[in-house]
Structure 1
Amino acid sequence: MALVEAGLERPGWLARLAQEHARVFFFSLGKLARAPLAAALTALVIGIALALPAGLYVLTRNLASVGYSWQESLQISLFLKDSVTEERGAALARELRAEIGVSKTNYISRAQSLADFKAQSGFGDALAILQDNPLPAVIAVTPNRKLGKAGVEELAARLGRLPEVDLAKLDQKWLERLYALLDIAQRSVGIVAILLGVAVMVIIGNTIRLDIEARREEVEVMKLIGAPDSFIRRPFLYAGFWHGLLGGLLAWILVAAGVQALGAPAEQLAQAYGSQFQLAGLPWTDGLALLAAGVVLGWAGAYVTVGRRLALIEPR
Structure 2
Amino acid sequence: MKHTQSRVRRPASSGPEKRSRSSGAVAARTGIGDRWQAWIDHHRHVARESLHRFLATPMASAMTALVIAIALALPAALQLGLANFQRAVAGWDGQPQISVFLHKDARAAVVESFATKLRGDPAIAEVTYISPEEALAEFEQASGLGDLLVGLDANPLPAVLLLRPRDTGNSEKMQALVENLRDHALSDSVVLDLAWVQRLTQLTELGQRLSAGLALLLALGVILVVVNTIRLHIESRREEILVVKLVGGTNAFVRRPFLYSGLCYGAFGGLLAWCLLLGAVLLLSGPISSLSSSYGSSYTLAGPGISYFTGLIGGAALLGLLGAWLAASRHLRAIEPS
Shorter-chain TM-score: which interval? Answer: 0.7 to 0.9
* CA offsets 1:231-251 (integer angstroms, 9 cap, x no match): 111110011011100000110
Q: Which amino acid counterpart does residue 216 of structure 2 have in structure 1?
A: I
8 Å Cα contact 1:78-1:165 kept in structure 2 = yes
How far apart are 1:65 and its partner, in Å? 1.9
Identify the match of residue 152 of structure 2 among 103, 124, 127. Answer: 127
Q: 1:101 to 1:242 in 2, by over 3 A?
A: farther
Q: Which amino acid counterpart does residue 154 of structure 1 have in structure 2?
A: K
Partner of 1:234: 256
Identify the match of residue 259 of structure 1 among 264, 274, 281. Answer: 281
How far apart are 1:12 and its partner, in Å? 4.2
Find out whether 1:92 has 2:114 as its counterpart: yes
* CA offsets 1:178-204 (integer angstroms, 9 cap, x no match): 333322222221222112111111111
8 Å Cα contact 1:32-1:39 kept in structure 2 = yes
Identify the match of residue 192 of structure 2 among 150, 170, 174. Answer: 170
How far apart are 1:53 and its partner, in Å? 1.2
* CA offsets 1:199-224 (integer angstroms, 9 cap, x no match): 11111111111111111011112222
Partner of 2:298: 276
How far apart are 1:286 and its partner, in Å? 2.7
Please say which structure displays the higher CA radius of gyration: 2
Identical counterparts, % of pairs = 37
Structure 1: unaligned runs, 5 residues or longer: none
* CA offsets 1:153-191 (integer angstroms, 9 cap, x no match): 733641541435443212243333333332222222122
* CA offsets 1:220-274 (integer angstroms, 9 cap, x no match): 1222222111111111001101110000011001100100000001111112222
Q: Which amino acid counterpart does residue 302 of structure 1 have in structure 2?
A: A
SS, match of residue 70 in structure 1:
coil
**How is 1:1-316 mapped onto 2 (pairs within 5 angstroms)?**
11-72=33-94, 75-81=97-103, 84-100=106-122, 102-110=124-132, 112-113=134-135, 121-122=145-146, 123-128=148-153, 135-143=157-165, 147-148=167-168, 150-151=169-170, 154-155=173-174, 157-162=176-181, 163=184, 164-316=186-338
8 Å Cα contact 2:64-2:265 kept in structure 1 = yes
8 Å Cα contact 1:73-1:142 kept in structure 2 = yes
Structure 2: unaligned runs, 5 residues or longer: 1-25
CA distance in 2, matches of 1:184, 1:9: 58
TM-score, length basis structure 1: 0.85
Runs of 4+ in 1 over 6 A off after TM superposition: 1-4
CA distance in 1, matches of 2:248, 2:51: 26
SS, match of residue 302 in structure 2:
coil
Q: Which amino acid counterpart does residue 249 of structure 1 have in structure 2?
A: L
SS, match of residue 104 in structure 1:
strand
Q: Which amino acid counterpart does residue 155 of structure 1 have in structure 2?
A: M
TM-score, length basis structure 2: 0.80
Q: 1:269 to 1:153 in 2, by over 3 A?
A: farther
8 Å Cα contact 2:94-2:197 kept in structure 1 = no
SS, match of residue 163 in structure 2:
strand
Q: 1:309 to 1:108 in 2, by over 3 A?
A: same
Of residues 210-219 and 118-127 in structure 1, the stretch that sits farther from structure 2 once superposed is 118-127
SS, match of residue 11 in structure 1:
helix
CA distance in 1, matches of 2:137, 2:92: 26
CA distance in 2, matches of 1:186, 1:141: 31
